[in-house]
Amino acid sequence: MTTRAHEINFDGLVGPTHNYAGLSYGNLASTKHKLSISHPRRAALEGLAKMKFLMDLGIRQGILPPQERPDLPMLRQLGFTGTDSKIIEMSNKEAPALLAACSSASSMWAANAATVSPSADASNTRVHFTPANLISNFHRSIEAPQTAAMLKRIFGDEKFFVHHPPLPGAVALSDEGAANHTRLGIAHGEPGLELFVYGRVASDATRTGPKKFPGRQTFEASAAIARSHQLNSNRTILIPQNPKAIDAGVFHNDVVAVGNLNVLFHHELAFAPDIAKTIATRFQVLFGTRLRRIEVKEKTISLREAVQTYLFNSQLVSLPNGRMALIAPWECQERPRVKKYLDRLISKGDPIAAVHYVDVRQSMHNGGGPACLRLRVVLTDGQLMRTHPGVLLSQSLYERLIQWVRRYYRETLAPRDLADPKLLEESRAALDELTRILQLGSLYDFQRS
């Protein structure tokens, strides 16, 4: 008998310090918008509107709270002393890049929070979580400890959930979480086929990699996670990313590919040549049915246009009626060629029945589309019962969160505002209130000290 399971998207709620600091080399949008003025309130409302849209489609939706920013404990660890205001002042004066990194709201991109394997895939039949170490960028590497604590709080029951520590913070084990991980199969509750895509092999310096931008995910990191999640090696494929894609600004594989159940939607240059066919063959052998592979040729939509529109960073979701829909970034309908492609794709009605465009432009300006904002967690009914209910979206929670954002978030944030000690106070007040709304208890360091 099939175990009933649901894929739940847990979206990272955008934090009050959302800003454009140009922190991510190889992420073209982040570089382009460096030092422009951000709109934290709009960003958070856009994110919430996307969550509500999915909920209204009948898809379960979860929320991951933002992290404590600016990260005062980290600034202290970096040698700044004195009162909180003094620390902000001195770090702004002596090391503004560190203050910007410690103020980033980057935990919103929950696809990078962790890699999650459903219990159906793990030999010990528990759900496995490995928070990503995110060591490729300092501002992201500081997310791991808070992510680990938060996931343990939400998925606390050890009988159902296994929490691995983030991989060691070494260049050879650089891990960017579920952004480089896709799961295919025939039903969410059945054993699947897990794809891990890596950008470089740390132990093989002779291998031809990207020339311009760094590959963030290593083979070694992906392999370690597949091992500790107790996955069946026959149902796991480690896949090299195409170096051309990385050099075109594809720092995570989810910018050029997205999969759901028996559908894999990807750009021709997403993977190293012929890999997509290998995936299809393995799928056929394992499930006795054909993988519906939608490959978009470079001549139809170039990598450049894929990166500009984040077409493949759409969420590919199963609707309650069994059909699939694509939740695409707004930017896709602004590009006639991409819009035309999508119109044609859905006119067939199968395997993708509809496209819905969502406006997450504040996040997009930092290189984060709809799929970057969510962490997919497959849970059975029993596991869902053991998940902290306070973070599951409902109409009333949505309305409370809208009010909360309107009350605490600034309209705009200029780069110089990161030096304003009031921003720290406001952010703490907001997060303190949020932990009450989500019934999370004292989650943050400042609530305990």
Which residues carry out catalysis?
A: 176, 252, 372
**215 closest CA partner among 224, 207, 225, 223:** 207
Q: How far is the CB of 176 from ligand SUG (least distance, A)?
A: 7
Judge contact between 51 and 11, C-beta under 8 A.
Answer: yes
Q: Residue 217 and residue 202: Cα distance in Å, rounded?
A: 10
Task: Using the minimum distance from each CB to ligand SUG, give the nearer residue, 189 or 370.
Answer: 370
Task: Using the minimum distance from each CB to ligand SUG, give the nearer residue, 116 or 179.
Answer: 179
Give the three-class secondary structure for 231: strand
Question: Which whole-number Å values give the CA distances from 224 to 115, 275, 299, 388, in the listed order?
Answer: 11, 21, 37, 28
Name the DSSP letter for residue 383: H
Q: How far is the CB of 111 from ligand SUG (least distance, A)?
A: 4
Residue ranges that bind ligand SUG, judged by CB under 6 A: 20-24, 27, 30, 104, 106, 109, 111-112, 140, 179, 251-252, 254-255, 366-368, 372
Q: How far is the CB of 33 from ligand SUG (least distance, A)?
A: 7
Q: Which amino acid is at 331?
A: E
End-to-end Cα separation, the chain, in angstroms: 50
**201 closest CA partner among 229, 249, 164, 239:** 239
Q: How far is the CB of 375 from ligand SUG (least distance, A)?
A: 10
Task: Using the minimum distance from each CB to ligand SUG, give the nearer residue, 112 or 241.
Answer: 112
Task: Using the minimum distance from each CB to ligand SUG, give the nearer residue, 44 or 384.
Answer: 44
Q: How far is the CB of 442 from ligand SUG (least distance, A)?
A: 27
The token pair that represents 182 in the structure block: 């896709």
Q: How far is the CB of 399 from ligand SUG (least distance, A)?
A: 28
**15 closest CA partner among 116, 115, 126, 143:** 143
- Evaluated on CA atoms 242, 244, 247, 253, the torsion sign reads negative
**318 closest CA partner among 368, 263, 253:** 263
Place of tokens 């509500």: 52
Q: Could you give the strand order of the β-sheet that contains 161-163, starting from the edge strand earlier in sequence?
A: 114-117, 127-131, 161-163
**Cis preceding-peptide flag for 336 (omega within 30 of 0):** no
Q: How far is the CB of 403 from ligand SUG (least distance, A)?
A: 27
Task: Using the minimum distance from each CB to ligand SUG, give the nearer residue, 162 or 307.
Answer: 307
Task: Using the minimum distance from each CB to ligand SUG, give the nearer residue, 188 or 365.
Answer: 365
Length of the chain: 449
Task: Using the minimum distance from each CB to ligand SUG, give the nearer residue, 18 or 235.
Answer: 18
Q: Residue 38 and residue 103: Cα distance in Å, rounded?
A: 13
